[in-house]
């Protein structure tokens, strides 16, 4: 028996329930993963609420995961039982076990130095950040602005721009300004008067921007003189590409190798991904409420407990 988080009608977080299912059987070319961590993303509750279409039947939720390969099917050579892996399986990742039907596209080995919790929350935010930074192409010495720079996507995007040699200004709540400063990001409080603070902080102008805000935020950036072709928007909707001429490069624009590349960048210390809080699998509703109401720095993940030690494993401690 294996459990997963499902919902059968759109609405609030109380629609989520943990249901029992049969153990997954591995077929040719497939990989079965025992999940250890599953990341939460704001897009999940947008999907749950019906903002991206009505659900039909029973549906899963989540995309990010990390875990241990439990079994591989015939023809799989890149992975073996016991491998630590991470990846993304949209609308299905919050489960105790996953069956990866196309591991060549969905799965990567976790590099030494990257923890299971961080790896389990990396797929959506990480790929979105890499694609967005690639779109605006920060250059050495340029000034780059990242809105929501302490969030799961923004904190990665801002550090990538720093690594490219840019001077990065990042907005966040007062509670997270110190974190940004510790990562080499010049912190600025968001809220009323942000445009004036940006003008004062960057009197020679802002060359490029990564925006997690709505259309109003895009219009403010344009009014500040940021060229439309140097703005990437992931929060204002796809229409701003036509109405304002900005990029809308997000997770769907990422390259296959981006997740593995970013995982190594975090493992090697070039990028820091905070895990704000870890919840138990059964606390899925509380975890989403925390993400929704507290706007924490970095990622929120669910941790799926491992099975108890086997007799042989216990024997190692008793020997």
Q: How many domains does the chain have?
A: 2
**Could you tell me the pTM of the whole model?**
0.96
CATH no. for residue 93? 3.90.180.10
Regarding whether 245 and 173 lie in a shared domain, the answer is yes
Identify the pLDDT of residue 296.
94
98 and 9 share one domain: yes
Q: Are residues 155 and 212 in the same domain?
A: yes
Domain containing 172 — which CATH number? 3.40.50.720
Q: Has residue 128 been placed in a domain?
A: no
**pLDDT (0 to 100) of residue 183:** 98
> Is residue 257 in a domain?
no
Task: Give me the residue label for tokens 């509380």.
Answer: 286
Q: What is the pLDDT of residue 51?
A: 87
- What's the pLDDT score for residue 56? 87
Give the helix/strand (H/E) hosting 35.
strand 31-39
Residue 84: helix, strand or coil by DSSP? strand
Instruction: Examine residue 143 and state whether it is found in any structural domain, yes or no.
Output: yes
- pLDDT, residue 251, reads 96
d(CA 96, CA 275): 20
What pLDDT is stored for residue 52 in this prediction?
87
The answer as to whether 192 is a domain residue is: yes
| 120, 142 contact by CB (below 8 A) | no
* Shared-domain flag, residues 144 and 238: yes
Q: Does 80 share its domain with 170?
A: no
Q: What pLDDT was estimated at residue 213?
A: 93
Q: Residue 119: what pLDDT?
A: 98
What residues of the chain score a pLDDT lower than 70?
none
Three-state DSSP state, 87: strand
pLDDT value of residue 310: 87
258 found inside a domain: no
Domain that holds residue 69: 2-122+273-310
- Same domain, yes or no: 64 and 164: no
Q: What residue spans of 268-310 are helical by DSSP H?
A: 284-294
User: Do 55 and 9 contact (CB within 8 A), yes or no?
Assistant: yes
178: Cβ contacts below 8 Å, ≥ 6 apart: 187
Could you give the angle at which helices 284-294 and 42-49 cross, rounded to 10 degrees? 110
Query: CB–CB of 225/203 below 8 Å?
Result: no
| pLDDT for 23 | 86
Alpha helices in the chain (DSSP H): 42-49, 103-106, 116-120, 123-136, 154-163, 177-182, 194-201, 215-223, 240-243, 258-267, 284-294, 311-318
Q: Tell me whether residue 302 is in a domain.
A: yes
pLDDT at 35: 98
Does a structural domain hold residue 259? Answer: no
What is the C-alpha separation between 101 and 208, in angstroms, rounded?
39
């Amino acid at each position: 028996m294996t459990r997963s988080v499902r919902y059968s009608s759109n609405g609030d977080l109380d629609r989520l329930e943990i249901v029992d299912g049969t153990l997954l059987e591995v077929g040719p070319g497939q990989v079965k993963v025992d999940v250890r961590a599953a990341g939460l993303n704001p897009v999940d509750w947008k999907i749950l609420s019906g903002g991206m279409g009505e659900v039909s039947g029973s549906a899963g939720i989540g995309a990010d995961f990390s875990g241990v390969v439990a079994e591989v099917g015939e023809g799989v050579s890149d992975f073996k039982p016991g491998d630590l892996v991470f990846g993304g399986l949209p609308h299905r990742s919050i489960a105790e076990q996953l069956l990866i039907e196309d591991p060549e596209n969905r799965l990567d080995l976790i590099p030494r130095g990257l923890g299971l919790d961080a790896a389990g929350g990396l797929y959506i935010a990480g790929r979105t950040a890499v694609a967005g930074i690639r779109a605006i192409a920060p250059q050495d010495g340029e000034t780059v602005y990242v809105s929501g720079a302490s969030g799961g996507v923004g904190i990665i995007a801002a550090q990538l721009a720093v690594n490219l040699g840019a001077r990065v200004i990042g907005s966040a709540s007062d509670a997270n300004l110190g974190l940004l400063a510790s990562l080499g990001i010049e912190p600025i409080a968001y809220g009323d008067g942000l445009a004036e603070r940006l003008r004062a902080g960057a009197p020679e102008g802002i060359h490029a921007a990564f925006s997690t805000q709505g259309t109003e935020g895009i219009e403010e950036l344009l009014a500040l003189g940021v060229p439309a072709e140097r703005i990437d928007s992931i929060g204002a909707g796809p229409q701003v590409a036509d109405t304002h001429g900005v990029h809308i490069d997000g997770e769907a624009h990422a390259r296959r190798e981006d997740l593995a590349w970013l995982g190594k960048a975090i493992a090697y210390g070039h990028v820091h991904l905070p895990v704000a809080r870890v919840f138990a699998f059964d606390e899925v509703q509380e975890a989403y409420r925390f993400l929704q109401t507290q706007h924490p720095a970095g990622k929120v993940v669910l941790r799926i407990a491992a099975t108890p030690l086997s007799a042989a494993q216990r024997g190692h401690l008793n020997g």
